Amino acid sequence: MIGSRLAEVYRSLINVAMGREKADLLIENCNIVDVISGDIFEGSIAIKGDRIALVGEKVDAYEFFDAKGLYAVPGFIDAHAHPDFYLTLPEYSSLAVKHGTTTLFSECDAALNALGTEGFELFVKWARECPARIYINIPYIFPQDPAVEDANFEISYEELAEIAGDLLVGLGEVLSWSGVISLDEQILKKIDFALEKDLVVLGHTAGAKRNKLQAYSIIAGSCHEAITQEEALEKLRSGLHLMVREGSIRSDLGIIKGIKNVDKSWISIVSDGVDPRKLVGGYMDSIARKAVELGLDPIDVLRMITVNPAKYYGMERDLGIIAPPRYADIVLLKSLEKFEVERVFVGGKIPKEAKTKDEPYSVMNVEKIEREDLKIDADGNVKIRMMRLVTESVTKEVIREVEVKNGETDFCKAVLVDRFKGNRIVIGLIENLEMEGTVSSTFNFDEYNILTIGRDYDEIAKTTNKLIKMGGGIIYSGKTNVELRLPYGGVMSNDVGDVIQKLEKLNEVLKDDGFEFENPLNVLYFLTFVTLPELKISNKGLVKVKERKIVPLIVES
C-alpha cells in the first residue's frame, strides 16, 4: 500500500479540523487510547483521505462509523518482519491486517536470495498493492558472510534502492558482527551504502559482548537477539533499540518483565517471522495478548507495537499514534487487555483481501544428482568433522573416527546442492540424528539452496531429484510421504491452506523420525545459517562459524 504525501494533503486536513470541509469518515463513540499520555478518553476520529484530521471532537462527515464503545488504538507494527515466510506477500499481509497488524518493516531475503533482482521487483510490486503498509529493509543477506559462502546472484544495492523507491527505509540485519568489527571490506561496502543514504541499520549481535558489542553498535541501531535480561540490558546500555522476539523462531517476551528502570520507549516487540500455522490464529495481537498475560502493562505493550517502532524508524509523523496527521491506521478492540480485534481500518478504509495473481517461477540450474555424487574421498577408518545438533538452530563441532566403505558411511548425511550455480555438492555428517526417512528442502536460511538430510544414499539422490523436478519446496520420503510445493522461488506459495496442512504434517513426521525438537523444520532452516554456532554447511563447504573459515570434512591426523 502507498500512502499520501503530507505535502499534498495537509491543506484539506487543516480544513477538516477547522470545520471548513467535511471529513470523509468519522469514527464516533470510541474509547481512544493515547499512547503518548497513556490516557483513554471518549471521542471521535475524523479522517480525510488516508490520514487523521482531528481527534476527540465531532465534525461533519460524508460517512459515519459507530464504534459503540470499542477501544481505538493505532494499527500494530511489526518492526522486524519476514513476510516471505512460506507465503507470498499478498496472502501474508491479508492475514496480518485481519489481526490488526497494519504496518510491516520487512526484510525479503527469501524472495531476493531465491529469485534475485526479479524476486525483489516482484516483492516491491506486491508491497505497493497489498492491504498492509510494507516498508523495506534491503536484505544484508546475500550472502550472510562472504568469507564462507557465495551469493546466489550478482546484485547491486543501488539497483535495489531504485526499485524500492519510497518504500526503502533501512538495511536488514547485519549478521556478521565479527566481520564488521574486523573491518571486512566486503561487509563494510554494504554499511557504507546504508549510512551514506541515512538508512536505518538493523543489528544482529548474538554472542557480541562488551567492547565488541559497542564497536558493532557504532553502525547498527537495534538488535533482536537478546535472550536473557542481562543481554537485553547490555544492548540498551550500548545505545541499541531493543527488539524483543516472539514468533516462530524464538520466544523471548519474558525478558521484558525483568528489565527494570529503563526508558521503555527503547523497546519494541517484533516477530522475526511468523509461519502460516501461527499467522492464521493471530499476529501482533496474539503476541501482545501473551505479553499482558506475562504481567506487562497493556499500555506499555501497545506502545511497543505502535509508537516505539515508529520512532525507531523516524516515522512517528506518519505511524504509531492516533493523532493528526498520521495515517488513519486504526484498530478497534473489544478489550485492551486481551487485544481482541473487532475492526481494522488502513488509511481510513476497511482493507480488502489480496490474492497473488503473478505466474509462479523458480530457479533450478541443476538437473539431477547420482549416488556417486554423494561419496566422500576416503576409505577405511578416518577422522570426520561432524555436526552435533544442540538446539534447533545451534550445532557443535565433533571429531569422530568413522568407518568409510567405498566412500560411504552409515551416519546421517546433510547434502547441500547448489541449485543456482549448479556445479557444487557439499557433504556434511550429523552425529546425533537417527532418522530412517529422507527430507529435502529449498527453504533454509539464507541460501535457499537444496538441503537434503537422510541416511540412505539412494533415497537421498531420489528425494533430491524429485525436489528438483518439482521446482522447490519440501519433500519428506519415508513411511509417510509429504510434499509441500513452493512454486514462487522454491520459498513461497499462495495456497495458504495447503502450506498450513503440509507444514503440520512435516513437523509431525519429522518428530516421529528422530528429530527430538519441538519444531524440527527449524533444523533444516538453520544448518545453513553460517553466523550461529558452531559448524554449519554452505555452498562453499563446511563452515567453522567463529573462525569464519571453510574447513574440510576429513580431519588430517
**Contact 519/248 with Cβ under 8 angstroms?**
yes
pLDDT at 548 over 80: yes
Query: pLDDT tens digits, residue range 485-513?
Result: 999 999 999 999 999 999 999 999 999 99
**Cα–Cα distance for residue pair 309/266, rounded to 1 Å:** 9
**Contact 384/532 with Cβ under 8 angstroms?**
no
pTM here is 0.96
Query: pLDDT tens digits, residue range 255-275?
Result: 999 898 899 999 999 999 999
pLDDT at 308 over 90: yes
> Alpha helices of 218-312 — where are they, by DSSP H?
229-237, 254-257, 276-279, 284-293, 298-304, 307-312
| Residue 395 pLDDT class (50, 70, 90 cuts) | very high
The closest of 454, 393, 465 to 429, measured between CA atoms, is: 454
Q: What pLDDT does 554 receive?
A: 96
Mean pLDDT of 387-400: 97
- Enumerate the domain spans of the chain: 76-319, 371-551
Query: pLDDT tens digits, residue range 185-233?
Result: 999 999 999 999 999 999 999 889 999 999 999 999 999 999 999 999 9
If you count DSSP H runs as helices and E runs as strands, how many of each does the chain have, helices first? Answer: 16, 28
Q: Name the 3-class secondary structure at 113.
A: helix
pLDDT at 557 over 80: no
Query: pLDDT tens digits, residue range 408-456?
Result: 999 999 999 999 998 799 999 999 999 999 999 999 998 999 999 999 9
Q: What pLDDT does 423 receive?
A: 78
Q: What pLDDT does 1 receive?
A: 84
Query: pLDDT tens digits, residue range 149-163?
Result: 999 999 999 999 999
Q: What pLDDT does 144 receive?
A: 85
Place of cell 528425494: 463
- Higher confidence at residue 250 or residue 196? 196
Q: Name the 3-class secondary structure at 87.
A: strand
**Cα–Cα distance for residue pair 383/557, rounded to 1 Å:** 8
Q: What pLDDT does 168 receive?
A: 98
Report which secondary-structure segment, H or E, holds 497. Answer: helix 496-511
**Cα–Cα distance for residue pair 73/422, rounded to 1 Å:** 51
State the first-to-last Cα distance of the chain, in angstroms, to the nearest integer.
60
Q: Write the secondary structure of 43-54 as one string of H (helix), E (strand) and C (coil).
A: EEEEEECCEEEE
Mean pLDDT of 283-311: 98
pLDDT at 173 over 90: yes
Amino acid (one-letter) located at 188:
L
Mean pLDDT of 330-335: 98
Mean pLDDT, rounded, of the chain: 96
Q: What pLDDT does 2 receive?
A: 85
Amino acid (one-letter) located at 419:
R
Mean pLDDT of 351-362: 96
Percentage of the chain lying above the pLDDT 90 cut: 95
Q: What architecture (CATH level 2) is domain 76-319?
A: Alpha-Beta Barrel (3.20)
pLDDT at 143 over 90: no
**Cα–Cα distance for residue pair 444/27, rounded to 1 Å:** 45
Half-sphere exposure of 536 (CA within 13 A, CB side): 31
Cell matching residue 44: 471521535
Q: What pLDDT does 170 receive?
A: 98
pLDDT at 555 over 90: yes
Query: pLDDT tens digits, residue range 56-79?
Result: 999 999 999 999 999 999 999 999
